Amino acid sequence: MAFNLLNIGSQAVLANRTALTTVSQNIANASTEGYSRQNAHFVSVNGRQGTHIQDIDRATDQFISRQYWSDISSFKSLNLTDNLISKTDNLLASSSTSISAQLDTYFKSMQNAVDDPTSLANRQLYIEETAALTRRFNNLSDQLMVQNDSVNATMKAATGNLSEYAASVAQLNDQIQQLTSKGQPVNELKDQRDVLVNKIAGLVDINVVQQGEQYNMFIGNGQPLVVGSTVNNVELRTGNPDSSQPQVFLKMSGSEMNITQQVSGGVLGGVKEFRNNVLNPSLNELGRIALTLADETNTQHKKGMTLENELGGNVFTDKNDTAIMRNRLKANTGNVSTVNTAYVNIQDVSKLSTDDYEMVVNDNNELLLRRQPSGSVVNLNKVTTAPSPPSSMPDNSYYLDSKTGKLNAKFDGVLVAVEANGFFSVGDKFVVQPTRNAASEIKSVLTDAKQVALASPVRITTNPSNKGTAVATVEVTNPDGTSFLGSSNSGKLDPPVEIVFDNSTSPIKYTVFNVSNPLDPKPMPLDPANPLVIKNDYVAGKAIVIPGPVAATDAGYSVTIKNEPKAGDRFSFDYNKDGVSDNKNALALSAIQTKKLLPNGSLQDHYSKIVETVGAKAAAGKINLTASEAVMKSTKASLASVIGVNLDEEAARLVQFQQAYQASARLITTSQTLFDTLMQSF
């Protein structure tokens, strides 16, 4: 009996000492990050032979842990996106950086010129405000690109940490496997591994599959990051072909994969979300506004006349400047072909979208065109004959000859032309960015106040003897028209024109006369197909297209007459020489502010739409972030209730195991007393 008591007591002492050590470990690590409470499991030995510690396990719940990883990933993604969108929202909406506020100032300066076109001071103010507006476009674009640089730095840090953490997980997998096979404790190593998984989840959404004692981790669309003790490195590489947009690659044994668009959640997912849905669309829309403003202003300004009796020139940089056109297309560095010349010509700003495009050369001279970042395919019709000139192509069509290395495509208001040095290879890729850099490229090129073209180049003279109520207006349709050639030197249209009404009753007829020689006016047929027809039917408000001096040429302007003329009424049209007080072209330039130039309205309407869209995303992001944080905290609390150390409970267990230890020691003492008594009885 004494021996049995001694054996039971010895085992009990050892078991309770182990239990006390376990409780002490829990208390010591109550504040240690990721520590999971450990429990010593007592098992009774059969045949009333005492007890022993079967194992010491760690409190865990794989379901809650996986949910927590998912919640961390979602929260980190939303938190980063919220911070970035808030900065963008502030940039776009702030009066110190807003394009809308500067547009108001710019058009106000034009209104001053409308009020007094003779004032050189007003003209100079317009030039200064034009330069200020371009600087505002440039600065806002630069600020958004600073954000892009910040995003790139965040991606670089995230991918570096991701590879480091993944390597540590693989190393812990190996250590845990080896120690488990030797029967040694691994609970603390598992805790360290879970902490690393928490950090990885903050970088990217992951799927963890437990196989035995090891974690296998997958990212993206199931690409393996860690499998057992093997780790696949994640690398951030310079964007190709757009160097400003770095790409995430996963290097696996013997191969590598671009997973940029596949990653989600965490920091990397948040960066992708912000870049694809906020930053790049904002830059592209800002560029579209800049292009539209420059194109519409330049077009209208060229229809006006300066103080020096010359037709106007460009106010802003030409939208199809050679260097700018080339900068809109980028070739993939992995292309087999070598580009000789390439450019993207803006044909119609009203048709521009805010998308980027990827062009891929396929078999059989087929061209694949995809919008970026959505990846949706743009349907184009194939043209089998090389267009000459390329601009003659119909909309939404392309021509591709891989053998000669010639590619033309026309879609969404742009014309793309690429010539390779000899050939194209299947798989060659190009990125087209029609509007991405436009806000940074717009510049003011008008510097001389006398060159501000505020007047109409056509002067209308209404005969003072007119008896009807008819009123004539002129619209310059083409400043390169034949009537304006040499006008600034001669001071006349070529030819000067007079419209004379022949009768007062319906149908009213009129004749257009060439009055180059006022003593011998010549009737001008308006229809080249009917040169003998010189009497024309008058339709109030219908534009009269004036023919050029040579048959089938464009004079460059049209006349509109309204109301009712009387027989003998006449209107004369000549070059508006020295028309310094004329503000007709200034009015047209001022009207650009409210003109619906883009699908959603005016320039300021579109800018307001950017601000509204980004602001809405910022507001929605804050709501989602708050909800995500609440969910994450709830899950964390649930996990803590399972794995966390409760000091009150541990203190109670400490007393429990201490008393059990002391009682076990008394068993040993009692067995010794019994043994001594037994020996003395012999």
Q: Give the tens place of pLDDT for each residue, 148-198.
A: 999 999 999 999 999 999 999 999 999 999 998 988 989 899 999 999 999
Q: Domain for residue 388, yes or no?
A: yes
Q: What is the mean pLDDT of residues 230-235?
A: 94
Domain endpoint, select from 543, 575, 607 = 575
Range of the domain at 408: 329-432
472 and 548: one domain?
yes
Total of domains in the chain = 3
Q: Domain for residue 359, yes or no?
A: yes
Task: Give me the residue label for tokens 């061209």.
Answer: 367
Domain endpoint, select from 575, 595, 611 = 575
Distance CA 501, CA 520 (A): 18
Distance CA 132, CA 20 (A): 76
Domain endpoint, select from 397, 432, 467 = 432
464 and 426: one domain?
no
What distance, in Å, lies between the first and last C-alpha atoms of the chain?
16
Q: Where are the beta strands (DSSP E) in 253-338?
A: 255-258, 329-331
What is the bridge-based pairing of β-strands 367-372 and 356-361? antiparallel
In this structure, are residues 442 and 574 in contact, taking their beta carbons and an 8 Å threshold? no
* Bridge partners, residue 558, by sequence: 475, 545
Q: What is the mean pLDDT of residues 72-97?
A: 94
Distance CA 38, CA 17 (A): 15
In the structure, what pLDDT confidence band is assigned to residue 654 with cuts at 50, 70 and 90?
confident
In the structure, what pLDDT confidence band is assigned to residue 552 with cuts at 50, 70 and 90?
low
334 and 423: one domain?
yes
481 and 518: one domain?
yes
* Size (the chain), residues: 682
495 and 569: one domain?
yes
pTM: 0.89
Distance CA 654, CA 669 (A): 22
Q: Domain for residue 490, yes or no?
A: yes
pLDDT at res. 3: 53
In this structure, are residues 496 and 624 in contact, taking their beta carbons and an 8 Å threshold? no
473 and 508: one domain?
yes
Q: Domain for residue 393, yes or no?
A: yes
Q: What is the mean pLDDT of residues 420-441?
A: 95
User: Read out DSSP for 548-565?
Assistant: -SSTT-EEEEEEEEES--
Residue 657 has pLDDT above 90, yes or no: no
Distance CA 266, CA 568 (A): 81
Picking from 468, 261, 516, 530, the residue whose alpha carbon sits closest to that of residue 375 is: 261
Q: Domain for residue 586, yes or no?
A: no
Could you give phi then psi for residue 470, rounded to 5 degrees?
Answer: -60, 140
Q: Domain for residue 17, yes or no?
A: yes
How would you write 385-419 as a 3-class SS string?
CCCCCHHHCCCCEEEEECCCCEEEEEECCEEEEEE
220, amino acid identity = G
565 and 672: one domain?
no
Q: Domain for residue 217, yes or no?
A: no
484 and 376: one domain?
no
470 and 377: one domain?
no
Q: Domain for residue 68, yes or no?
A: no
Average pLDDT of the chain is 92
User: Read out DSSP for 290-358?
Assistant: HHHHHHHHHHHHTTSB-TTS-B---SB--TT-HHHHHHTEEE-TT-SS-EEEEEEEE--GGG--S-EEE
Q: Where are the beta strands (DSSP E) in 155-220?
A: 206-211, 214-219
Distance CA 331, CA 50 (A): 78
110, amino acid identity = M
426 and 464: one domain?
no
In the structure, what pLDDT confidence band is assigned to residue 551 with cuts at 50, 70 and 90?
low
CA Rg, the chain, in Å?
Answer: 41
464 and 547: one domain?
yes
Residue 1 has pLDDT above 60, yes or no: no
382 and 470: one domain?
no
The encoded tokens of residue 666 equal 């008394």
pLDDT tens, residue by residue, 386-426: 998 999 999 999 999 999 999 999 999 999 999 999 899 99
Sign of CA dihedral 636, 638, 640, 642: negative
